[in-house]
Amino acid sequence: MSALHVHVDGIGLWSPTLGDFAALRAQWQGADVSVPPSRPRAAALPVNERRRAPESVLLAVEVAGQAVAMSGCAASELPCVFSSMYGDQLISDYMCTTLAQAPHELSPTRFHNSVHNAPAGYWTIASGCRAASHAISAGDASFGAGLLEAATLCLAEQRPVLLVCSDIAGNGPLGEMSGIRAAFGCALVLSPRAGPRSLAHLALTLTPHAGDALRPAPPTGAWHEANPIATAAWPLLQNLIDGGGQCTLAAAETLAMRVVLETLA
Amino acid sequence: MPVPIQPLAVSASTATSALGQGLESHLDALSGGRGGLRENDFSSAPLACWIGRVAGVEDAPLPAAHAMWECRNNRLAWLGLHQDRFIEHALDARQRYGAARVALVLGTSTASIGATEEAYRRLDANGRMPPELRRPPIHAPHSLAGFVAEALGLEGPCLTISTACSSSAKVFASAERLIRLGLADAAVVGGVDTLCDSVLFGFNALELVSPEPCRPFDQARRGISIGEAAGFALLERVEAAPAAPRLLGYGESSDAHHMSTPHPEGLGAELALRDALARAGLEPGQVGYVNLHGTASLKNDEVEAALIDRLFPATTRASSTKGFTGHTLGAAGILEAVFALLAIGHDLVPGNLGCLAPDAACGPQLALRGERRRVGVALSNSFGFGGNNACLAFGSAPA
């Protein structure tokens, strides 16, 4: 295959210690960074929805809103890809607990918020977006597979696409299985063409049968190891800060994706 | 408007549902107007409703080599893969193109959450899952695709699509894009969803579950019957299988309206439908059959009936097959894509089982009983929570 070429027009990011991409860059450059509010603001949601929305939705909408604002695109015009390894684990934990004890007492609202495409649903409703919305999952490769799916959509349709990758922290017996200890979300607006707001150019190429190259590095205690999306996204985020560089992401279990990043002159 | 796509060959397909295992049993049931719903004997606590349960899943454990993936949903996937020699077609494609050149895109709404539910019913004294269920991959949405990738030995792009009830319709669109851009030469697409407490009690909490077998488009319909199913299809460029039926187009859209209620005028559904026709280069009058989403919920059927009536001539026939299988949720897209392919291949319009007195919104297109007539081109509608819509267009190979 030839490389897929896309441009990054906007970046969003949120973790319990970093409120946006600028905060990540400042922290990486050694500056002091103030801690964001304990819940993502998710300003794109109407006030009522913000109160009702579960944490997974607030996180995804927060980073989506940041990336779209930076891109200057109209949210209503952007097809979107929401990727998450576990969806809303807290709702799954609640549902499985309730179903085991008093199944007839299951909350209807929590049930409809439990669908994996709840963030995509809330986002498209809030932004009046009638374009295609996708909700995907790919295990440990959820970030790389999300980037591949969004780039594919962007190039096949020749229009900008919003990518959101996020997971919240787990709880209870399910949380023990997921091992996700902190929330993290990041978002990119990808465009098929360079525009005035383009921040970087990405060239993506796949390398199959690369299981060995994708084996996770031994843990170092770094902040991003508390969340697999953050672990996977960190090398690309570093290159976005540095304005250049190459990294290898997992696009599937044994499928590596080389991402060459260049800043536009 | 999207530009037309190059059609893809659907060189193999299969389905397993309450109607039976494999295409033959589905064709027999549709031809004979024989439904597969039964009284609920599945949920962990009593719930008076009807379900579309696949017989024999309990007796079909996974082979020891795949034991780490053991759960009802993956058992149903394994059972489904073995019908109609689908697994042989998939392995043949792997042989011809190489393991990394065959993409795998599967839809599911709840994956193996049934195993997570079971673990929560059997927590140990310390509140932990029982040891035999402490297998992290089966508690994640990617469980199904992770298992099938291992079972088929595929190493190309591998994706779970989980957009509620449109999940396994959208797999065709993702696969088409991967093939069009040269990231794969073929794709195994499909979907599997199994009965579980989450959906039975969840839809019940939303007051969407019918106490009687579901009656899509009937004036007296009382809600959905939940079912389970597995289905798969193999997509390749048409040169590889010139005589096979084809994926002609697809449309995807969002309602931007409400999390669990469709847009009152069916705006998103219409966008998806028009997109599918545009990508297929078709006019509404060329469509022989539309397999409707037709869940038998009050709102969906009213909106969808009006949409079909205003878009299509009476010569286009339309029906929901959910009276046969129940609403198989994340597997509905692939199951009903297979019904559309059966309709084309056998010139059979399935009847709309369960509907005696159609809703006033229904037009002359609704086929209450099965009809033998040339179909040629068939569409399949799938709409999900979050206002997530997909429409697929299939056609026979040119004569």
Domain-wise residue ranges, chain A: 8-197
Residue contact B385–A121, C-beta within 8 A:
yes
Please give the span between the terminal C-alpha atoms of chain B, in angstroms, as a whole number. Answer: 29
Nearest chain A CA: its distance from B128 CA (Å): 6
Span A8-27, mean pLDDT? 97
> Which chain B residue has its CA at the smallest distance from A204's CA?
B183
Closest CA to B191 of B56, B348, B30, B17: B17
Span B99-104, mean pLDDT? 98
Q: What is the CATH architecture assignment of A8-197?
A: 3-Layer(aba) Sandwich (3.40)
A158-167 residue pLDDT tens: 999 999 999 9
Structure confidence at residue B274 (pLDDT): 98
Residue contact A127–B256, C-beta within 8 A:
yes
Chain B residues closer than 8 Å to A137 by CB: 140-142, 160, 162
In the predicted model, is pLDDT for residue B44 greater than 80? Answer: yes
Residue contact A103–B43, C-beta within 8 A:
yes
Nearest chain A CA: its distance from B59 CA (Å): 24
Chain B residues closer than 8 Å to A2 by CB: 182
Residue contact A117–B117, C-beta within 8 A:
no
Structure confidence at residue B1 (pLDDT): 78
Mutate which: A85, A123, A130, vs B, most B CBs within 10 A: A130
Residue contact A173–B127, C-beta within 8 A:
yes
Quick one: tokens of B322? 């959910």
pTM of the predicted model as reported, rounded to 2 decimal places: 0.98
Lowest-confidence region among B96-100, B256-260, B265-269: B256-260
Of A133, A139, A155, the CB nearest to B388: A133
Compute the mean pLDDT over every residue in chain A, rounded to the nearest whole number. Answer: 96
Chain A residues closer than 8 Å to B117 by CB: 96, 99-100
Mutate which: B49, B94, B139, B271, vs A, most A CBs within 10 A: B139
Chain B residues closer than 8 Å to A141 by CB: 158
Closest CA to B334 of B268, B216, B235, B197: B235
Span B1-22, mean pLDDT? 96
Nearest chain B CA: its distance from A204 CA (Å): 11
pLDDT band of A265, cuts 50, 70, 90: low
Structure confidence at residue A247 (pLDDT): 97
B339-350 residue pLDDT tens: 999 999 999 999
3-state secondary structure of A262: strand
Residue contact B136–A133, C-beta within 8 A:
no
Residue contact B158–A155, C-beta within 8 A:
no
Catalytic residues of B: 165, 293, 327
> Strands, E, within chain B: which ranges?
8-17, 20-21, 38-39, 50-52, 102-107, 158-161, 186-193, 226-227, 229-237, 246-254, 289-291, 317-319, 348-349, 371-372, 377-384, 388-395
Class of domain B8-395 as given by CATH = alpha beta
Lowest-confidence region among A92-101, B213-222, B254-263: B254-263
Of A2, A125, A177, the CB nearest to B257: A125
Nearest chain A CA: its distance from B343 CA (Å): 27
Span B234-250, mean pLDDT? 98
Compute the mean pLDDT over every residue in chain B, rounded to the nearest whole number. Answer: 97
Report the distance separating Cα A80 and Cα A78, nearest Å.
6
Residue contact B120–A209, C-beta within 8 A:
no
3-state secondary structure of B326: coil
Residue contact A208–B260, C-beta within 8 A:
no
Chain B residues closer than 8 Å to A95 by CB: 198, 202
ipTM: 0.98
Report the distance separating Cα B342 and Cα B360, nearest Å.
29
Chain A residues closer than 8 Å to B252 by CB: 132-134
pLDDT band of A215, cuts 50, 70, 90: confident
Residues present in chain B in total: 399
Structure confidence at residue A182 (pLDDT): 97
Nearest chain A CA: its distance from B32 CA (Å): 35
Chain B residues closer than 8 Å to A206 by CB: 100, 157, 183
Burial class (CB in 10 A: 0-12, 13-18, 19+), B338: buried
A50-74 residue pLDDT tens: 998 999 999 999 999 999 999 999 9
B266-275 residue pLDDT tens: 999 999 999 9
Alpha helix ranges (H) inside chain A: 21-28, 47-52, 55-71, 89-101, 108-113, 118-127, 142-157, 172-178, 228-242
Residue contact A124–B254, C-beta within 8 A:
yes
In the predicted model, is pLDDT for residue A255 greater than 90? Answer: yes
Nearest chain A CA: its distance from B131 CA (Å): 11
In the predicted model, is pLDDT for residue B13 greater than 90? Answer: yes
Give percent helix, percent strand, percent coil of chain B, each to the nearest 5: 40, 20, 40
pLDDT band of A44, cuts 50, 70, 90: very high
Residue contact B129–A120, C-beta within 8 A:
no
Residue contact B129–A173, C-beta within 8 A:
yes
Structure confidence at residue A2 (pLDDT): 85
Span A174-201, mean pLDDT? 97
The answer to whether the beta carbons of residues B275 and B132 sit under 8 Å apart is: no
Chain B residues closer than 8 Å to A87 by CB: 141, 162
Nearest chain B CA: its distance from A140 CA (Å): 9
Structure confidence at residue A77 (pLDDT): 97
In the predicted model, is pLDDT for residue B291 greater than 90? Answer: yes
How far CA A19 is from CA of A22, A41, A90, B345, in Å, comes to 8, 10, 22, 56
Of A86, A125, A209, the CB nearest to B140: A86
Question: Could you tell me what percent of chain A has a pLDDT over 90?
Answer: 95
Structure confidence at residue A1 (pLDDT): 67
The answer to whether the beta carbons of residues B72 and B78 sit under 8 Å apart is: no
pLDDT band of A216, cuts 50, 70, 90: confident
In the predicted model, is pLDDT for residue A135 greater than 70? Answer: yes
The single-letter DSSP state of residue B24 is H
Please calculate the CA angle B297-B276-A61 and round it to the nearest 5 degrees: 65
